[in-house]
C-alpha cells in the first residue's frame, strides 16, 4: 500500500528490507460499475471485505492483504518470520491503519501518508462503505474505520505514525459540471500555511488520469491548479506595505536576502512541492502538465518553464513582466529578494535573459498582451523578450489585443484560447 519510487528502493537497499506493494483492488472482473469513478471499484477497493452484491465475492482486499498475500510472500521470498510492518498513502493509508488495528500483533509497526482517517465522516468513505458494506444503519462501518477502531484496540502496544501533507478543504463549488475547490496546507518550502485552488473537471469521475495546467495569479477535461502569489500570515516587517512586494508579489523566485530567504521560496514551492501535492492527491496524468500566468504570475510562469526544461509541455503568459531587470516593479522586487544587482543573480530570474541560454527540449512562448494596458510601456516590456527570442531563434508568439487593458476582464476574454493551446501540447 505504499507508493513505490526510486527513493523507496534506495532506502530499502540501504536498510536491507523487502518492499511489497499490492494493488488497490481486484481487476479484470468487469463488474458493472467497477470502472465508473476513481474513488470506487478498481480505483479504490478500500482494503475491506465487502458484504454487498456484486462486490462481496471478489472485493475482499482486507483478507487478501493480511492473509493470502503474506503467505505468498513468506513462501517465495527470504522473509524473517514475524518481521513485517505496513504503510500506505491516502486510501492505502486507511487500509494500512485498518489492517494493523484489526490484526493486533501481526505488524511490528504501521505508518500512513495522508490517510483517509475517518471514512465514516467523509464523502469518499461514505460512498465506498455504502457500496461495499450497505447502509450505515445495517452495515459494519465502524469495523473499517481507524478512528473507531483505536477506541477499542486491546492488542500489543502499537503506535500510529501519520504523515500528513495535510490538505484541508477550504471551499468547494460546482461549476461547468466540475468542482472548483480551494485547499490549504502547511508548506515545507515557504514555512507557512499556503492555499491553492484546483478545478477538477467532470471527466475525473470517469476514472481517468487527466492533464494539468498550473495557472498563476470546465472545459477540455483538464485540471486547473492556481497557487497563491506569496507566503502569507508570516507578518515579516514590510511584507504588506505595497502591492508589488511581499504578500502582494512574491515574484515566484527563491529569495536570498534576509528577512525573505527562509520563506519566500515560491519558485521551489510551485515547481516541486506543489506538483508533488497535486500528483499525490488528484487524478493527474504523469508528465502531462503545462503552466500559464498573468502579470507577475506571467513572469513566474515563463521563469518556471525556462528554468525547468522539460517539466512543462507548454507555457503561456498574459501581460507578463517580461524583463524585470529593466522595470521598476522588477528592480524593487529583485533588490529586496536578491540583493543589489551587482552581487545578486538577477539574470537567473528574468525570462528575457533566460531565453538567451536555454538549451532544453523544444519550447514555445505564447505571450498575450492587451494594447491598452497601462503597464505596457514601462513595466511589461514584451518587445524586449520578443527581440531576445528573435536573436537566438527561440520560438515565441506575441498576440496583441487591441483595446484590452491589464484587467481580469481581458484575461477572461482569451483564457479559452490559452487552454486550447495547452491542450494541443498536452495531448500530443
Residues designated as active site: 295, 373, 406
Contact 106, 74 (CB under 8 A): no
CA–CA–CA angle 405, 409, 411 (5° rounding): 80
Please give the order of strands across the beta sheet that includes 178-186: 168-175, 178-186, 193-200, 223-227, 210-216, 284-294, 315-318, 365-370, 396-401
| Pair type for strands 160-163 and 315-318 | unpaired
Q: Quote the CA–CA distance of 50 and 35 in Å, as a whole number.
A: 17
Taking every pair of Cα atoms in the chain, the longest distance, rounded to a whole number of angstroms, is 75
Cα distances (angstroms) measured from residue 97 to each of 104, 151, 215, 291: 11, 13, 36, 37
How far, CA to CA in Å, does 217 sit from each of 65, 249, 370?
45, 10, 17
Q: What share of the chain is helix, strand, coil (3-state, %, to 5)?
A: 35, 20, 45
Gap between the Cα atoms of 76 and 64, Å rounded = 16
Q: Which of 230, 226, 196, 233 is nearest to 337 (CA)?
A: 230
Extended strands (E) in 120-177:
160-163, 168-175
Q: Judge whether 116 and 95 are in contact, CB under 8 Å.
A: no
Residue 41 has which C-alpha cell? 471499484
| C-alpha dihedral sign at 63, 126, 41, 179 | negative
Q: Where are the alpha helices (DSSP H) in 269-349?
A: 274-281, 296-306, 328-338
Q: Parallel, antiparallel, or unpaired: how do β-strands 193-200 and 223-227 relate?
A: antiparallel
Residue for grid cell 536570498 = 256
Phi/psi for 328 (5° steps) reads: -65, -35
What is the DSSP-derived secondary structure letter of residue 80? P
Amino acid at each position: 500500500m505504499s507508493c513505490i519510487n526510486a527513493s523507496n528502493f534506495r532506502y530499502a537497499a540501504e536498510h536491507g528490507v523487502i518492499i511489497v506493494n499490492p494493488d488497490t483492488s481486484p481487476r479484470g472482473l468487469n463488474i458493472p460499475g467497477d470502472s465508473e469513478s476513481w474513488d470506487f471499484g478498481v480505483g479504490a477497493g478500500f482494503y475491506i471485505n465487502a458484504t454487498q452484491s456484486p462486490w462481496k465475492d471478489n472485493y475482499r482486499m482486507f483478507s487478501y492483504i493480511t492473509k493470502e498475500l503474506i503467505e505468498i510472500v513468506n513462501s517465495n521470498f527470504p522473509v524473517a518470520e514475524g518481521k513485517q510492518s505496513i504503510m500506505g498513502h491516502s486510501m492505502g493509508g486507511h487500509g494500512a491503519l485498518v489492517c494493523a488495528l484489526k490484526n493486533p500483533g501481526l505488524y511490528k509497526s504501521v505508518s500512513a501518508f495522508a490517510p483517509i482517517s475517518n471514512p465514516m465522516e467523509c464523502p469518499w468513505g461514505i460512498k465506498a462503505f455504502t457500496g461495499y458494506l450497505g447502509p450505515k444503519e445495517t452495515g459494519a462501518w465502524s469495523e473499517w474505520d481507524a478512528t473507531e477502531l483505536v477506541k477499542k484496540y486491546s492488542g500489543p502496544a502499537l503506535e500510529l505514525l501519520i504523515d500528513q501533507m495535510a490538505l484541508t478543504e477550504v471551499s468547494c463549488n460546482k461549476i461547468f459540471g466540475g468542482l472548483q475547490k480551494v485547499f490549504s496546507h502547511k508548506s515545507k518550502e515557504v514555512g507557512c500555511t499556503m492555499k491553492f485552488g484546483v478545478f477538477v473537471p467532470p471527466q475525473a469521475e470517469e476514472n481517468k488520469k487527466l492533464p494539468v495546467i498550473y495557472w498563476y495569479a470546465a472545459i477540455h477535461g483538464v485540471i486547473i491548479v492556481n497557487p497563491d502569489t506569496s507566503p502569507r500570515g508570516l507578518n515579516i516587517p514590510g511584507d504588506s506595505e505595497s502591492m508589488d512586494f511581499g504578500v502582494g508579489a512574491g515574484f515566484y523566485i527563491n529569495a536570498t536576502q534576509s528577512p525573505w530567504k527562509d520563506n519566500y521560496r515560491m519558485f521551489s514551492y510551485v515547481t516541486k512541492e506543489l506538483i508533488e501535492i497535486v500528483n499525490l492527491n488528484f487524478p493527474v496524468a504523469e508528465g502531462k502538465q503545462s503552466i500559464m500566468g498573468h502579470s507577475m504570475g506571467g513572469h513566474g510562469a515563463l521563469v518556471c518553464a525556462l528554468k525547468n526544461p522539460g517539466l512543462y509541455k507548454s507555457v503561456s503568459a498574459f501581460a507578463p513582466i517580461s524583463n524585470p531587470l529593466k522595470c521598476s516593479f522588477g528592480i524593487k522586487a529583485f533588490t529586496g529578494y536578491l540583493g543589489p544587482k551587482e552581487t545578486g543573480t538577477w539574470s537567473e530570474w528574468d525570462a528575457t535573459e533566460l531565453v538567451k541560454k536555454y538549451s532544453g527540449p523544444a519550447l514555445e512562448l505564447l505571450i498575450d498582451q492587451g494594447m491598452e494596458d497601462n503597464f505596457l510601456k514601462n513595466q511589461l516590456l514584451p518587445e524586449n523578450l520578443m527581440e531576445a527570442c528573435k536573436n537566438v531563434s527561440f520560438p515565441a508568439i506575441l498576440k496583441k489585443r487591441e483595446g484590452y487593458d491589464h484587467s481580469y476582464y481581458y484575461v477572461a476574454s482569451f483564457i479559452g484560447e490559452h487552454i486550447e493551446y495547452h491542450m494541443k501540447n498536452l495531448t500530443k
